[in-house]
Amino acid sequence: MKFLLSHPSVAPFVQQVGRALWEANMLDKFATTLTDYPEATWRKLICQTAKIVKIDLASQIQRRAIKEFPLDLVVNNPWGEIVSLAARKIDRDGSFSDFIWEKAELGYYSNWVADLIKKNDTNIDAVYGYECCSLRAFQTAKRLNKFRVYDVPAPEHDFVHQILKQELDKFPELITPYREKVQKKHEERTQLRRNEWDLANLVIANSEFTKNSYKTSGLDVSKVAVIPYGAPPPRTDGALGGTKSDQPMRFLWAGTLSIRKGAHYLLEAWKLLNPVNTSLQVLGAMGLPEQLLKDIPKSIAISGTVPRSQLYEIYHQSDVFVFPTLCDGFGMVVTEAFAQGLPVITTDRAGASDLIEHGKNGFIIPAADASALAEIMNWCVTHRQEVKTMRQAALDTAAKWQWSDYRTKLIESINDGLQKSGYAG
């Protein structure tokens, strides 16, 4: 049984699927957009061209390195993604980037993957795709009687939409041109995902929260296998991390500072906390309206994204990770934090909350509750030694479910799905 794996990015969870299939001798090709080929002539050419318009494309491409399986199994169609990267650099409100993304990913990339399946009909027995960019691939695969696996990293689209709509109704200042456009496209994009779901023989969800969001929305979840994402290897000196008692206590946020991630509640909680001798470091892309960032306290340091190796070191140097998401299928930042010995505050709407033992390796609070978040952060500030002892429990949690465990469970679920669907044997 040979799979075509397709995803526009080379995100860690995608590469782990590729590695699982490769280790099981089931990966024929990985079809993606932009991948790093360090010695390729085209790479050097486009990076030099990008410098002319002051775009650091080289650092973007380096983040697209394939590390989990052989590079010769990768086939690329990078041009749509390159145009999307350029659009994001010049787009101020996100609406133009969304337009380019729709054309590049939902159109250009999806058609290309479907063509690959037809051209490699005799080599490919199955297709493994992800939400939003698999409809044409699955339609083609069904016509050719190929097994179809659908991976859903996020909760059901309409489920998420309703949560965000409630926030925008409560806080109209959060509405941006991008949000307005996405709302108009909501029904169309929800139906796209549901069509993909209907075509799948097997669905992979990363948490019970993700699975239940589809069940709540009326979809058949009998074909769903829940497989939580794995953690990076625990850091051997992780329990020794964090700040010293004579230094300001450091809370950390990593990821897009956005409505969906509950960023506005974090800012509100920080004002309620009014911390002394405490800091908040924010790493990631900015996704909040500028007016919400006026008069930010000096105790909050906001900066952009950093390489993963640098991010892991910042995890290690921090005291508490804050992830007050309103809706997240999993939240890989949680397991990344655990692996560096960092306790986590998150909400009951994060799939990774399944891993939290309240008061032992972290804390679970209600989503959209700034007061509850401020209260827990205040407890951490006033119980600094107790927080320090939680680092070992965080490391132990990471050790219990590694990416190798994820890969083993994934192949077991695929083989089970093949048997149930009549494709095995």
Note down pLDDT in tens along the chain; length 425 residues.
999 999 999 999 999 999 999 999 999 999 999 888 877 787 788 788 878 877 777 777 778 889 999 999 999 988 888 788 778 777 777 778 888 888 888 889 999 999 999 999 899 999 999 999 999 999 999 999 999 999 999 999 999 999 999 998 988 888 777 777 778 888 999 999 999 999 999 999 999 999 999 999 999 999 999 999 999 999 999 999 999 989 999 999 999 889 999 999 999 999 999 888 899 999 988 888 777 777 788 899 988 888 788 899 999 999 999 999 999 999 999 999 999 999 999 999 999 999 999 999 999 999 999 999 999 999 999 999 999 999 999 999 999 999 999 999 999 999 999 999 999 75
Other CB atoms closer than 10 Å to residue 75's CB: what's the count? 17
Q: Which helix (H) or strand (E) holds 320?
A: strand 320-323
| Residue indicated by tokens 């000096």 | 298
- Which is it for the CA torsion 201, 205, 208, 209, positive or negative? negative
| Residue indicated by tokens 């640098």 | 310
Q: Which helix (H) or strand (E) holds 269?
A: helix 263-273
pLDDT in tens, 331-376: 999 999 999 999 999 999 999 999 999 999 999 999 999 999 999 9
- Nearest Cα to 104, choosing from 131, 79, 127? 79
SS3 of residue 55 by DSSP: coil
Q: Which amino acid is at 203?
A: V
- Nearest Cα to 64, choosing from 28, 48, 87, 40? 40
Two structure tokens written together for 400: 């219990």
The separation between the first and the last C-alpha atoms of the chain, rounded to the nearest angstrom, is: 10
Beta bridge partners of residue 5, listed in sequence order: 30, 128
The domains located in the chain, with CATH, are 3-230+403-421 (3.40.50.2000), 238-400 (3.40.50.2000)
SS3 of residue 72 by DSSP: helix
